Amino acid sequence: MERGDLGGEPTVIVRHGGTRLEVALAGATVLRWSTSTPDGGTVELAAGYASAAELERNLSGAFAIMAPFANRLRGGRYTFDGSEYDLRPEMHPQDTEVIHGLVRRARWRLDGVDTSGELAALTLSTTIRPEQHAGYPFALDLEVVFRFGGQRLGAELRARNVGPTDAPVVLGWHPYLTLPGHETVNGLRLTVPARTRVAVDEQLIPLAGEEAYREVDDDGASWDPLDDTRLDTAFLLAQTDGVASTWLRSPMTGRSIEVRQRADQAPVMHVFTADTLPGKERQSIALEPVSAVADAFNREEWDDRVRLAPAAVRELSTEIIHHPNS
């Protein structure tokens, strides 16, 4: 393990099994993930932040650990157990909306590095406490374990309710990925194992009730290639248990990226083609496993996925696999 620095922001660098991983303690944010190639070279697969200013601004939410909510809340407000809460007064000055949780700029602790196995493990943790966020008066202990080596990078998220009452908790991860040989995502093939897409309004909030859930075509959520398709869309997985895989493939190079998620923990895959990132439009794609749709705190049908009892733990495990030749 090495200690790194991103313009004054401390980072951790670990090399293992042909993989180099760099993670900022701010937000437990992956900055770089590179893997070895058969010819002795390396490929960079992560589109992370390149400076401390980018990390602080956090415009794209790149590799954000999303907790205790994922993506957006309508107007930054929600109701839980009859009480109304407002997160807008605590917004970061550079944010234009309440989005991607409360810990993407938080200082995470380095709890350990283990390189003794086939996959290395890098463990970080942080906390959320009622005195920190008036709009979220609940107590959580959060942990992420990154497991990596060879062509793999996994993230295991855990949230434990350490408060005296039920708490609303949704988890997610927001990786931005690239495939070598492609300046944009236009020429890539994308397949999401979905049965339903989530329809949204102008603020990207799911429509009311059943209007939010639309069946996908018989061919599923698949684009060959993406071309100029614009996606900032959540999909409900077609299965309810086991492991589901979303695939990003290059017909030009034969490389592919597979994003695996446990359907029981994370029944939603959110896809963003980075169309609105200034200067970086469509240069990468966000494939985000999440445990509930946006604005789930305000949706009765997601209550069992949101509510977390005292002492209970919510987990989300996901893995990204680079296939050099598909």
Mean pLDDT of 240-250: 96
End-to-end Cα spacing for the chain = 32
Examine the pLDDT at 220 and tell me if it is beyond 90.
no
Beta bridge partners of 125: 109, 143
Rg of the chain over Cα atoms, rounded to whole angstroms, equals 19
Q: Is the pLDDT of residue 41 over 90?
A: no
Output the pLDDT for position 218: 67
* Both tokens assigned to 266: 């994370």
Model pLDDT, residue 39: 79
Span 165-189, average pLDDT: 97
Does the pLDDT of residue 40 top 90, yes or no? no
Computed over every residue of the chain, the mean pLDDT equals 96
- Reported as a single tens digit per residue, the pLDDT across 262-280 is 999 999 999 999 999 999 9
Q: Is the pLDDT of residue 326 over 80?
A: no
How many Cα atoms are found within 13 Å in the side-chain-facing hemisphere of 123?
A: 9
DSSP symbols for 34-70 = EEE-TTS-EEE-B----SHHHHHH-SS-TTEEE-SS-
Percent of the chain past pLDDT 90, that is, above it, reads 96
pTM higher than 0.75: yes
Instruction: Say whether pLDDT at 73 is over 90.
Output: yes
Contact 294, 98 (CB under 8 A): no
Nearest to 277 by CA among 315, 218, 230: 230
